[in-house]
Amino acid sequence: MADLMPDLTGQTFLVTGANTGIGKETVRGLAGRGARVVVAGRSAEKTRAAIREITADTGNADLDFLPLDLGDLASVRTAAETFLASGERLDVLVNNAGLAGKRGMSASGFELAFGTNHVGPFLFTELLRDRIVETGPGRIVNVASTGHYRAPGIDWKAVRRPSATRTAFDEYCVSKLANVLHARELGRRLEGTGVTTYSLHPGAIASDVWREVPFGLRQAMKLFLKSPQQGARTSLYCATSPDVGGVTGRYYDSEREKRPSKVVTDALAAELWARSEEWVAAGQRG
C-alpha cells in the first residue's frame, strides 16, 4: 500500500488517537510520503514519543501534537479552536481514536464507548469541516469496525446510561455502527463541496483499543489478530488513494468497498445526525 500512495508533500492530515496501534502506523505511512501530520490524543508523553519515533524513521519532522480527549466535549472544542486558530489548511481528517472493553460513562454524559467513539468525533468533525471544505478537495475518514454488523440498531436511552454488558463489547459495536452512519450522512451533506467521506474496518487488529480487556484474554486474542501495520492499510487507502476520490459515504474493508450492515439506512443516519446535533448543542449550553 505504501508504495502505491501518492506524494503527499504540501498536504496536512489530522489523525486522532495516533500514539499507538493503527493510528501510529497511519501517521507513519503519511509522514513517509511527505505529509504534514497533526497528531491528536490524550497523552502528551506518549504522543510526543510516537512523533519522535516516526520522525526518526521517516526523516519527516513536520509532525505536531494536539491535546484531545474525545470523551470530554469541552476538550474537543478546545482542540478544534486551537487547530483553527493556527490558520493552517486541513486536507484530511482521520477519526481513528477508539476505545473498547471498558465500561462506564464519558465525561460528557454518554455510555463510554458511544461518547468516546461517536459523540466526540462527531463534534470534532463538525468544528473542523469548514476548514476542510475551504482547503478542498478533502476527505474525512472514520475508522469503524466489522463489529457494526453485530449492532441491531441504536437504543437512544441506552447511549445516555453507563455500559450495561459485562465486556461492553455490544456497546462498542453500537458506537462503530454510529461511525458508519455518520460517514454516510456526512457524505450526503457534503455533496458538491469537494470533500468526500469514508468509513472502514481495519481488520481485527492487535492494538491498544483492547487495552481494557483482561491480560490473559488479550494475549490469547492477539494470536488471531493482524498487526497494526496491516491494519493501517485501509485507513491509508481511504485517506489518500485516487481510486476512491470520486465516491463518498461508503464503507470499506481490506481496501475494497463493502456493503455495510442492513441496519445502515439513510433514515437511521439522518436520525443519528439530528440527535447528535442536539447532544453537542446541549453540551455547549451546559
Peptide bond preceding 137 in cis form (omega within 30 of 0) = yes
> Is 172 assigned a catalytic role?
yes
Question: HEC profile for 197-254?
Answer: EEEEECCCECCHHHCCCCHHHHHHHHCCCECHHHHHHHHHHHHHCHHHCCCCCEEEEC
Task: Identify the active-site residue in 172, 198, 237, 251.
Answer: 172
Give dist(CA 45, CA 65) in Å, integer. Answer: 10
Contact criterion met (CB below 8 Å) for 183 and 129: no
Contact criterion met (CB below 8 Å) for 180 and 148: yes
Number of Cβ within a 10 Å radius of residue 178: 28
Catalytic sites, residue numbers: 172
